A and B are shown apart, each in its own frame.
Chain A
Amino acid sequence: MEAQAAKLIGAGLAAIGMIGSGIGVGNIWSSLITAVGRNPAAKSNVELYGWIGFAVTEAIALFALVVALMILFA
């Protein structure tokens, strides 16, 4: 296989890692909506943890993207 083709396939494979992050971010928001729906008074307390959880989980997808970019350009 040519090296360039292998690089492109590898970059595509690296993007698979985003599946987990998508599931995780969806989980965080669904739990947040459930929590606020059950107890609307807790919204201000829970919202902060939702954003932190979102940012921490989203970072996993970005790690996958960094790996893909490193394969393509480095």
Chain B
Amino acid sequence: MANPIEQFKIKPIVDLHMGNVDISFTNSAVMMVISVVLITAFLTLSVRSRALVPGRWQSVAEVFYEFIAGMLRDNVGSQGRKYFPFIFTLFMFVLFGNVLGMIPGSFTYTSHVIVTFAMAAVVFIGVTIIGFARHGTHFLRMFFPHGAPLATALILIPIEVISYFSRPFSLAVRLFANMTVGHIILKVMGGFVVSLGGFYLLPGLVPFAFLGGITVLEFGIALLQAYVFTILSCIYLHDAIHMH
């Protein structure tokens, strides 16, 4: 029986080396290129007609647009509008990575912590720069809540600083762990179906029905995690712009 974590193995497709650095074109990179091409094709082709009364494809694209625009409006306010392209790109990239990874035999690039951490680090550094650019050194006020007695500063400031710097890690590990664990569960359940159904047909149906339920749940998790990753980025952006 194959190892359940073998599906996350990165295999080079085109071997490329720059000095001692391995920059091979891998199966992970192939899936990223596929998802970016799909997103671009879907968004450009569906809004090509620019109809006032949207057709079927155009209304799907408008649902995505409205969803993220509404999320920014509710969580960041009108000042967040200029960050819409970034948030929308982040959402579509994570969403397509999660959903394309559910295709059997494909590769889930969001199940690698380096990919999710790169995105979380961009969000964290960008949000910190926005905060300092808008408020200057007054941004450091964020580490001390308004109205708290001055005597508590000794305890509160280290806690706030630690919680601020743990943001990129929790953002990255949440997405990575959800996708990795979900795919491992699918593989383990699939192993149960094969090993039980190979001997007796009827008992094999029990894990098969369970596998069906888990697959539906994993599709839900794929959508939900893309949503959570985006909305937490929005909340961090709100903190930087409005300082609580």
CA distance A2 to B227 in the complex (A): 44
- The answer, among B170, B177, B225, B228, for a CB contact under 8 Å with A66, is B177
Interface presence of A8 (CB below 8 A)? no
Question: Given A51, A56, A73, which contacts B5 in the complex, CB threshold below 8 Å?
Answer: A73
Query: Interface residue count for A (Cβ, 8 Å)?
Result: 12
Q: Is the CB of B231 within 8 A of A63?
A: no
Question: In the complex, what distance in Å separates the CA atom of A59 from the CA atom of B178?
Answer: 7
Given contacts A52-B231, A59-B170, A73-B5, contact A65 B224 (CB under 8 A): no
User: B185 — nearest CB in chain A belongs to which residue?
Assistant: A65
A29-72 at interface with B (beta carbon < 8 Å): 51-52, 55-56, 58-59, 62-63, 65-66, 69
Complex: A6 Cα to B237 Cα, angstroms: 44
Asked, given contacts A55-B224, A73-B5, whether A62 binds B231 with beta carbons under 8 Å apart, the answer is no
**How far is the CB of A20 from the nearest CB of chain B, in Å?**
16
User: Contact at A62–B5, with CB atoms within 8 Å?
Assistant: no
Nearest chain A CB to B148's CB is how many angstroms away? 24
Are A62 and B174 neighbours in the complex by a CB distance under 8 Å? yes
Contacts of B184 in A (CB 8 A): 69
Q: In B187-209, which residues have CB < 8 Å from any A CB?
A: none
